[in-house]
Structures are given as C-alpha cells and as structure tokens.
C-alpha cells in the first residue's frame, strides 16, 4: 500500500484543483436548468472531473517510481470511468430541462453587436 502514498499525496491536490476549475468554468459558461438534482449532479461531476484528472500526475509518478504498468493503467482506466459515469449522470438529469427550455430568438447581427465587436 505504501507504493500509492506518494502518488496520492501529489496527485489528489492537483486533481481537486483541476476538477474545481473545470466545474467553475463549466458553470460560468453554461447555467444549470435542471433544478436541485442537476446542481447536485454537477457538484458530483466536479468530483468526477477530479477523478478523471488524477491520472495525469499519478500515472507518470508510478512510472518514475518503477511501479508495475498494470497498476498505473488500472488506476488511469478506473479514474476515467468514474469521471465518465459522473458526467453521464449529470447529462441524464440536465437534458430534459434543456429540451423543455424555450429556444432563444435569433436576432441576427445588430448595429449594437457591430459596435461591441470592435471591428
């Protein structure tokens, strides 16, 4: 079990930072319309993004420490599956709310848009 301590100590803070960054950026770019369940799934999605990102530092550290390839690959595949599962759960909860949302009218390119673009 000691073979996982150093990679975890280095990988978990990185993964948490990446997961929170991805979740904040996604929330800023696309608001959530699915209610409380979708918000909770989005927060779980941050954990999933962290799980998906932990392999970035963990796998190279395992290789540098000379650990068996199967451990690094197993962790990499497992973390990606956890991340994918959390994103699928969020998509299942959010998709109906997006489908019921009224489409925004396309107003085309206006003079105000042209002035804001700086062209």
Give pLDDT tens digits for 95-107: 887 777 766 666 6
The helix (H) or strand (E) run that includes residue 88 is helix 69-100
What pLDDT, on a 0 to 100 scale, did the predictor assign at position 105?
64
Q: What is the residue range of 82's domain?
A: 2-100
Q: Does residue 109 belong to any structural domain of this protein? A: no
Is residue 48 within 8 A of residue 82, CB to CB? The reply is: yes
What pLDDT, on a 0 to 100 scale, did the predictor assign at position 1?
54
Cα 48 from Cα 19, distance rounded (Å): 7
Q: Does residue 39 belong to any structural domain of this protein? A: yes
Q: How many domains does the chain divide into?
A: 1
What pLDDT, on a 0 to 100 scale, did the predictor assign at position 42?
77
What pLDDT, on a 0 to 100 scale, did the predictor assign at position 23?
80
Q: Does residue 62 belong to any structural domain of this protein? A: yes
Residues of the chain with pLDDT under 50: none
Cα 43 from Cα 107, distance rounded (Å): 34
What pLDDT, on a 0 to 100 scale, did the predictor assign at position 103?
67
What pLDDT, on a 0 to 100 scale, did the predictor assign at position 36?
82
What pLDDT, on a 0 to 100 scale, did the predictor assign at position 106?
65
Cα 10 from Cα 61, distance rounded (Å): 9
What pLDDT, on a 0 to 100 scale, did the predictor assign at position 55?
75
> Whose CA is closest to 7, among 73, 51, 64?
64
What pLDDT, on a 0 to 100 scale, did the predictor assign at position 102?
60
Q: Does residue 14 belong to any structural domain of this protein? A: yes
Q: Does residue 56 belong to any structural domain of this protein? A: yes
Q: Does residue 118 belong to any structural domain of this protein? A: no
Q: Does residue 105 belong to any structural domain of this protein? A: no
pTM: 0.63
Q: Does residue 10 belong to any structural domain of this protein? A: yes
């Amino acid at each position: 079990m000691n073979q996982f301590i150093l990679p975890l100590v280095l990988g978990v803070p990185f993964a948490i930072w990446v997961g929170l960054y991805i979740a904040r950026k996604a929330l800023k770019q696309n608001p959530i319309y699915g209610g409380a369940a979708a918000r909770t799934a989005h927060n779980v999605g941050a954990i999933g993004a962290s799980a998906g990102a932990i392999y970035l530092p963990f796998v190279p550290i395992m290789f540098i420490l000379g650990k068996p390839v199967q451990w690094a690959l197993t962790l990499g595949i497992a973390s990606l599956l956890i991340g994918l599962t959390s994103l699928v759960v969020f998509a299942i909860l959010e998709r109906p709310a997006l489908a019921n949302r009224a489409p925004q009218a396309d107003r085309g390119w206006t003079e105000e848009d042209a002035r804001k673009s700086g062209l």
